[in-house]
Structure 1
Amino acid sequence: MSSLPSLSSSRSDAPGCALPAPSTAGRPLRLALCLSPLLVAAVWGLTNQSLLYEGAGRLAGAEPAWLLAAGGVTCLTWVLAACMRQGAVPDPLPPGLLLASQFAAGAANHALPAGLGAHAVTVRFLRTRGVPLNRATSSIALYSVAKSAAKTVVLIGFLVSSSAWRRLGELLPDGAVLIPVAAVLTLVGVATAVVRPLRRPITGLVRSALADARTVHARPARALALWGGATALPLVQASALACTGQALGLGLPWGTVVFAFLAGGTAGGAVPVPGGVAVDAALVITLAAFGSPVAVATATVIGYRVITDWVPLLPGALVLSAMIRAKAL
């Protein structure tokens, strides 16, 4: 009988006989991912206290009906973004989770510039839905192309139908600014064409994007969701700015505010900084160029950011953390 314990212990030490212990290696990482959106929101709020106080003070004296209208219009932007994301992939996606992912993606955009936070959240969401990585990345490219192309078409439409663009001549950059930008783009293009480690993944991405684009455009519902959402998105975003301007007494007609949003957003969006700081500065300058007092234009842009970004920031971070915890991201 005395040999039984040693026999039992020897069997437990034998390879393949011991029961595997539950793995806890990934728990700290997942906990960190769940808490990181809340940490980003807290740090952003602490470092932008003056903007928060100023924006809240301005909004306290604004017309609440127009502010509610701006909030309602802002909710439509997440619906349109979800439509575009669905239109960019052939695979069917769950509407509720897709909409929640786009709401959460707004919070991620405060941590990374140029929309990279939203794209990263979307890629992760698509991967959890079984979409291969190359096709998920291709959908981001198709989404970005449709968004930029549709916004450009809308901007050209306003340029053709309105004479207000003449006031923006002084805001256009001169050749001294455009030359280095063109030089950098040329170097990137040459490096991509010459360096093989860069050429192979980019070539594969382009092929996958073209294949998915053909598949998507062969389905009218997908194409309508992609291009219809891309066309309506800048108009809805500009309408939120116009409603905020009405609440604060901006004094500019809707068409002028929409054109200012398109022009200022295009100029400011070329600067890759998180939080839309460059876009905000460009919007203030553009609204002032159209005749609005600088103080009112500044208050309008701050109020617009409060409604569209700052108010949804904490709920979006909570949704992002919840989706990570539920392994939906």
Structure 2
Amino acid sequence: MSREPHTRLARALTALLQDPRPVTGVQRLRGGSKKGVYRLTLDHTDTVIAYLWHSTEDYWHPGAAHSQDPADPFSHASGPHLFTAAHRALTDLGVRVPRLLAHDTTGTHHPGAIALVQDVPGPTLEELLERDPAAAAPVLDRLGAFLRTMHATTHPGFGKVHHLTTGGRPHAPSCEQTVLDRALADLDEAAARDARLHPHHARLTSALHTLAHRITPRREHVLIHGELGPDHVLVDTDGTPVLIDIEGMMFFDAEWEHSFLRLRFGEHHPRLRTRTPDPHRSALYDLAMHLSLVAGPLRLLEGDYPDRAFMLSIAEHHLARALQTTA
């Protein structure tokens, strides 16, 4: 980031927070493929996190995003409206998120939209699990309590929080149909980019339809984060988990959340259990998740995402898992 964007960020912070102290440091943080995340230091002491939503901060160029339709629960999860709706919903439930200090969507203070949030000083839960699993155990238990609160919050519709709270409705008839349609598209896209899938395309297509056919319809959906890995949880000084990257939060099936939690938390997943899962739904969602994590990284790598080796490793791992699946 050049000096001029640094200056714009500093001016935006001063205006939005009405804080006259000089901004003495601007650091772009790792992660965040859909928005820019920056730590701003004021007067060499206090820090604030800035989220920037702008095309120059989004590695998912229009061709790489799965969908732009707000009625699609899996559409591109980026934008200040998604963030503020999710932040409000979690705050109302007592689920810890970084405190929202100010935000602006007019472009007056910075190109695109900007939100200023509390800088939580602790490590990520991923870092804590690697460094001190014993210290991470009570944090996992508190995270599990947050998830049970979220999964006890229900809605008759399904989709992103902002879409539903502004009167929107899904186009698809059910969560399982949404997942099936997306998984079939992911399979097609992944096969177009990796020839190793060609001999398995028909078998995996049949497996997806077979697994979907076994599912009993459901009329109630729960609040889920949607992409809750230990890298999306900060730990504050009191040992409380703090959820970040919340723009994809939606009402959906708990089984979709747990498919991702099992992948990311592994042996620690039992501490995060909530509702009793439907095994048929879980089987479909597990395969769909693997296919998504093949197609998504390969799509992203068609752009200029910097950590290419990491994305390739994700695609390789989930390709192997998908090919092991039988219906």
TM-score normalised per structure 2: 0.27
| Structure (1 or 2) with the larger CA radius of gyration | 1
Higher RCO (Cα < 8 Å, 6 or more apart): 1
TM-score normalised per structure 1: 0.26
